[in-house]
Amino acid sequence: MILVGATALGGCATKGFVREQIATVNTRIDGMDGRLRTVEGTSGQALAQAQAAAGQAQQNGQRIDQLNGRVDGLDQQVQQQAQQRARRPRG
């Protein structure tokens, strides 16, 4: 009888003990939740900055393409003028 009573009491946790353990776990969860929110905020900011940089890079690429076209046009004009000068008789 004593053995049965000791076994029964050894396997039961008091409500206070359980609440204490749950409180510890909840505190850890709350801390992790706060850290997760911080990480989410930081990652959201990083995403916004990356998207802005991608948009700026696309605009820069378009401007470079426009400038390349202008440079090519000027290069052709210079070459044409050089050819015309070469054809003129030197007097």
The yes-or-no verdict on residue 72 having pLDDT over 60 is yes
3-class DSSP string for 45-81: HHHHHHHHHHHHHHHHHHHHHHHHHHHHHHHHHHHHH
Q: What is the pLDDT of residue 26?
A: 97
In a domain, 1, yes or no: no
pTM beyond cutoff 0.85? no
The total domain count for the chain is 1
In a domain, 80, yes or no: yes
Structural domain for 60, as ranges: 13-87
Q: What is the pLDDT of residue 12?
A: 83
One-letter amino acid at 45 equals Q
In a domain, 44, yes or no: yes
Q: What gap in Å lies between CA 73 and CA 79, rounded to an integer?
A: 10
- pLDDT 10s digits, 14-61: 999 999 999 999 999 999 999 999 999 999 999 999 999 999 999 999
